[in-house]
Structures are given as C-alpha cells and as structure tokens.
Chains A and B, each alone.
Chain A
Amino acid sequence: MGANVLTQSVEFNKEQIESSFKRLHPHANFIAERIVYYPYYYFCYNVKAKRLFLPLNEKVGCAIDSISGKGSLIDYKPKWKAIEISKEQQMPEMYSLEDCTSISESFIYRSLSLKMRMISFPELKREQQQRFYRPYWVVWNERAESSDFIVDGVSGQFHPL
C-alpha cells in the first residue's frame, strides 16, 4: 500500500546519476539503487520592517526538515506534484506541523537578525505552509571499503552516507 503525497520532481534519472559518478571516479562502479522520499515542511512568510530609503515588505521561504527539525533557507518556491509512493520509500516524520511552525519562526527571525539591516522589529506573517517530500537517490559503491552516497534528486547535490 502506498501513500499519496506532494513531492518535488526527480530531475536526475538513474543513468545520469551513475554516469556523473563514473565521470568523477572512473575506477569505481556506482549504482543508483533507489529513491527515498524525505519529509519537509515549507513555510512562506511575509516580512515587514522599517528600513532606510526602502521599507521592507518581502517574502521569505524556508523548509524545515521534519526528521531532525533543522531549518534551511530556500531560493525559489518549490513546485510540487501529487504522486503515490510506497511505504518503503517514505521516511517517517519526527516533528509535527506545530513543532515545525515554531522552529520555522525562530529560524527566520534568527536569519533576519543576522543578515538584514532594519530599523524596526520585523513583523512576520505566515502566508503558506505545506508538507512535502523531497526525493533522494541512494547510490551504492560496489567496493565495500568506499563510501556510499545520497544524491538530492532535485539539485543534484550529494553527500556520503
């Protein structure tokens, strides 16, 4: 039995991933074995604050990883589509929407106070929230002593497992 969820599209197929790894490391054999779907909450805030010359009235988006509760700033609003994924592919979330909402507010305030210059305290208004899943490829290295990887199916960025 699968579940219907909102996900981002997989931009890199199995062959692309394997050939990219092959190009970077010709002597190893990497196998993009399967895709797992990682849960996040997307939040979009409208930020209002006073600033010299140009009042601030902008949108800021962030994604909260609902397994480890970590926030990330995002550069574009994600596009989603509804698909059915199997139970083996769907990672279970650890943080609820309520937890992630409060994490996202603190995360946005922290990022704003670090990076943005404002005269007044910013007002945050939550405009959108959505749970979504992001696809990650699990890439095995056939040599046991070498590291395996995950590859972000949207951006192509990777990290050893």
Chain B
Amino acid sequence: MKLHFLMLLSLSLFLGCELITPSPTEGKTHHLAIALSYVGTNIRSDDYLDGTLPDAIELEKAFDALFAGKEHTSTLMLQDGNDDLDDLLLPTKAHVIEKIESLSDAMDEQDILIISYSGHGMEDGSLVLYPPRNDGSIFSKSGSMYTDVLLTVEELYDALDSAKGSVLLLMDSCYSGNFVLESETSYSLIERNAYLQKIYDQYFTEGSYTRPVFVLAATTYDNTASETASHGHFTQALLEGLGWDEENQRQREVDQTISVDYLYQYVYYHQDIALNSVNSWEYQHPTITGGPLDLILR
C-alpha cells in the first residue's frame, strides 16, 4: 500500500503540472502609452524630444498587431504642444495616476497591463510629466523645477497596488533603471562585479520572492538615455523585437515566444548605441527585473 502511494506521488510529481493542470482562461491586455515632447513647456528648446511621440504611437500599433485576435485595448496619453488641462489624456501627474489606478482596479488575474513611458527622467528615476498649469511651466521663475510635475518610482508603484494581473513597465527615459527593483533572490551583474561572498550572502538573507512588476528599462539607475530623430534608441530596438515593421506598418513573423527576457536580449544585441563606454552619454545599458520568472506576452 505504501509502495503504491509512493509510486502515485512520484508519478504525479514527475508528470509535470503544466501537462495535467488545465490552462487558465486567456486574459485581456491593455497598453497605456505615455509620451511627452515638452513642446510648449518652459524647458530649453534643446531639451524638446522628437522621438517620444513616435515611440508611443508605434508601440501602440505594434501591440495592437501583436495581440490581434485577442481582447486587447490601448490608451495614448500624449503631450505634443496642443495641450488642454481638461483633457483627461494629457499626461499630468494627476491624470496619469488616475488612469493607472483605474486600469489596475479593472484587472483580473490573467490580464496583462503594459505601461510604456517616453520622456525625460530625473536622477532618482522620477518621470517628468506635464504641469497642472495653463502656461505649461515646468520650471518656476527662480529656475527650480516644480515638484508637481514629477511622478516618483514609489508613486508609480503605489498606483499599481491594486493590480491583480501581470504588469510590465517599458521605460525609455534617463535613469529609468531606478524602476527595476533589486531582486531578493538573484544578484545583478550589470556594471557590477560578482563577488562570491555577496551571491552566497543573498542566499542566506531573509528576503523572499514575490511575483513582481516586470520592468524593462532603457538604462541603468545612474545613466542617461538618448534618442534619434525618430525614436529613443531603446524603443527603436524594442519595436523591432516585437516584430513591428514600421516602414511597411505591419507585423512580421517572429518565430519564437515573445517574452520580456526575449525583448531584453533583443534590445541588448540590436540597440543602435553602445552598451558600455567611458562617457555616460555615449552608451546605455538596458535593465530588467530579476528573479526566477519570465513574463510571456505571446
């Protein structure tokens, strides 16, 4: 009797749960694209961004094509110089938080929420959004930046608190690596040396893994990100990795599972800027959330 029980237990273990558990019902996907050109604000015209709006628009098309035939919706929150504070899709801090909270609240367990951001980022990772003022001023007359334009890392994560499904942040901004929270169970080697002692210390620390908000960011926490005239370097490569043929405006065949790890690899090997260099403005290194799981998009 005991032997039969053990055999049954072994068999149930080694049959593999994926093979005997019914697949969950496919969830909905939603893409929220946030992008700012800063035209019409009082930042220096040299700091206007040309690639951000095309980033958001093309990403929306790419995800529409990627999730064609599935329950997919998208929202564009763009700032392009023709801005009206009454427009709920103008990316002010209040509008962005409200939108993210409402999308998070509406999620079921199998849903995926993708949030992309193309715009300026501060040294602590904060996103620079449109000011809640009709004159579009980001800087005060004394030259200091208004804090009501900044959406911090913590505030964005707080807005995602109620999300029951999977969340992916695609961040194309300076210092966007700040959104990649350090893993409790693995040790990042990006621009760090691997000390055996630290790797083993992490094994014995008390932190544990919880399914995270997945982040794919253009750069590390301490480096800038840059753009060409048409796109951010990161988003340009990301669009290609998603299989989006921008020139012909169609989805090309990608003969493998499109996951966050796959996209990271694609950007890593195909971005049109060096991964490492002496001067920070000459390179950017993409970053990704660590841990044991990879999020599958298609």
Pair from one complex: no
A-contacting residues of B (Cβ < 8 Å)?
A: none
